[in-house]
Amino acid sequence: MEARKKYILLSVLCLIAMWAVMLTSMPYLSLAFFALSLLFAYGAQTEYKLEKEKKRNNFIKQLDAELEAKGITKSQFYLDENAETGIVIDEKNQKFTIINKQSLITLPYSSLVEVELVEDEVSVLKANKASVIGRSIVGGAILGGVGSIIGAATSTKTSSKEVKKIDLRLIVDDLSNPNHNINFLKLNKPIKTIDPIYQQSSHEAFRWHKMLEIILKRQAKYS
């Protein structure tokens, strides 16, 4: 981080020098200082990205060691870019592990109560034990049992053109800590839904919602 601060300071100093030179009617020197300020700004951004990636990779190594010590298998894994929230599905042991600010909470499949996909605090998809069991009963009566594993989550998909945050919210059967939030997109400014960054984040969040919905359906089927 110190290197990034140095780049930013040098960039600001170059901009100040550029304006000072402009006042003395020396355009070429002013352009040179402007170019240097851009170079230092780029260096600061690159340094920041490298530090964040290093932090994330170090956390993954630490996470792998902790999961191995607990006997947890990473069948499916997600970690946000800031290494603050994430989730691991262990199909072998029928468990999932929630990563929340570098703490791990491992629970059995049966403890999952609800999963909701949220964009800018607006619910997009939601599935819970009650809705899944209800669909299983109705589907079973109509389709002779096949309906117990058929059904889509309740959808309230919005037509919002810009989004800056995508979260997956889990409710688990734990009175002391029932609510958990996993971040898939977190920006300072909203972006268009046609933006590749949004498209990738939305697709990944939707995929995870569906995987957790499958877990709910399986629990309903065998309960």
In order of 75, 99, 102, the CA distances from 79 in angstroms are 14, 8, 10
Q: How far apart are CA 193 and CA 222, in angstroms?
A: 38
Per DSSP, helices labelled H in 101-128 are: none
DSSP annotation of 111: G
Q: Residue 194: what pLDDT?
A: 93
Which residue, 88, 102, 99, is CA-closest to 208? 88
pTM for the model stands at: 0.70
- CB neighbourhood size of 47 (10 A): 18
Residue 32 C-beta-side C-alpha neighbours within 13 Å: 6
Q: What is the pLDDT along the chain (223 residues), one digit of tens a residue?
A: 454 555 455 555 555 554 454 545 555 555 555 555 555 565 666 666 777 788 889 989 999 999 999 999 999 999 998 899 999 999 999 999 999 876 899 999 999 999 999 999 999 999 998 877 655 433 333 223 222 222 333 333 444 589 999 999 999 999 999 999 999 999 999 999 999 999 999 999 999 999 999 999 988 776 6
